[in-house]
Amino acid sequence: MKRLMCVVTAFLFIAIFFSAGFQPAHSETVTLRWAEPSPKRGTEVVWMNWFTKELEKRTFGRVKAQVYWGGSLAGLKDGAQACKTGMADVGWVSSAYQPGYGELSKVPYAAGFFSSHPSPVFLTDKWLKTTDRIPALYEELAATNMVPFIMRWYDIYWTFSTKPIRSLADYQGVKVRAVTELQQIGFKAIGAVPVFLGFGEVYSALQKGILDAVAASPDTAFRYKIYEVTKYVIRHDIMGAWANWCINLNTFKKLNWLDQKTLFQLGREASMMIARINEDERHRLIDVFRKKGLEIIRFPEKDIETWGRNPVFLEWQEKYIKEQEARGYPARELVDLYLSLVKK
């Protein structure tokens, strides 16, 4: 009952905030142009197929989705702009790829460089609860004409490498693709050379020696076939990246209030479904990578502890909080709430 009340409260806030008091009694059939940057394979297909079918079913055909796979409508770096302008009705938004959009999604990184809990299901639940209680993320994205309805975590990050990395010392000079600002700071702190590339460029960069390694979630590494151009998987549970699936605000307002509510409810279900799939896939893919010929290296716990205590992480957290509060958002309150929920 308590969880249901959180969902209802969050939806009521969103409906009032975004709809400005106007709700059409009936909406015409709306087909959402959905810009999916990933290739059409792996677990992305599983949850996406479920979501689009359920959306059409639960809205009795009033809302449908046409998915444009593989960046054919908007790529990794273009999803926010496409959604903001209406070129796409639904876009993938990540502050790592699109600075300035959804910066509050970085709040969970405040839990530390390494994941504070092994389960993406647990962490996703806590982040949803945080945004229910303090809906600043909705306000932030609304300012750029977007409404987030799916919040997804890309699971923990391992390092997929062309060379063995068995200790902190082995990271010296390693050119590693790192996506988030915190990951780049973290790898640089131990002497690695962080490189930012779109994931579509990583395979080729590993082949050509532009990269020695890539930090990636197991599912993402599998979808992009990184196992074909690496030899080692270094297991250390680096905090993954958070992203949002957003709907263009003008498109959102075309939906009647029941369909808006359905979109949000499905979004929550999809957020948790993705988390469960990622957790299951992580365990399954260990065997898959091993069968593909990759050596699985478990990084020493003492090196993880040493790495995680590096003061650069606290410095980044304070810098991030001050930057967001200067923009008018309650970053410290969000960080404190999220950390309190995770610790429980």
What are the pLDDT tens digits along the chain (344 aa)?
444 444 444 554 555 455 544 455 455 789 999 999 988 988 899 999 999 999 999 999 999 999 999 999 999 899 999 999 999 999 999 998 899 999 999 999 877 899 888 899 999 999 999 999 999 999 999 999 999 999 998 889 999 999 999 999 999 999 999 988 899 999 999 999 999 988 889 999 999 999 999 999 998 899 899 999 999 999 999 988 889 999 999 999 999 999 999 999 999 999 999 999 989 999 999 999 999 999 999 999 999 999 999 999 999 999 999 999 999 999 999 999 999 999 87
Helix axis angle, 181-189 to 312-326, nearest 10°: 150
Report if residue 131 sits inside a domain: yes
273, part of any domain = yes
Entry pTM: 0.86
d(CA 110, CA 13): 26
336 falls within a domain: no
Indicate the angle between helix axes 331-343 and 312-326, nearest 10 degrees.
Answer: 130
Whether residue 67 lies inside any domain: the answer is yes
Q: Does the residue 65 lie in any domain?
A: yes
Structural domain range at position 41: 2-102+112-153+243-281
Kind and range of the H or E element at 132? Answer: helix 120-133
- The domain that holds 35 is classified in CATH as 3.40.190.170
Residue 52 DSSP one-character state: H
Tokens for 16? 């009032």
In a domain, 132, yes or no: yes
Residue 254 lies in a domain: yes
Long-range pairs, 190-194, Cβ under 8 A, ≥24: 190/307, 190/310
CB contact at 8 A, 179 and 241? yes
Would 88 be classed as within a structural domain?
yes
Spatial separation of the C-alpha atoms in residues 95 and 107, rounded to whole Å: 11
Domain count, the chain: 1
Q: Report d(CA 85, CA 329) in Å as an integer.
A: 24
Q: Would you call 91 helix, strand, or coil by DSSP?
A: strand
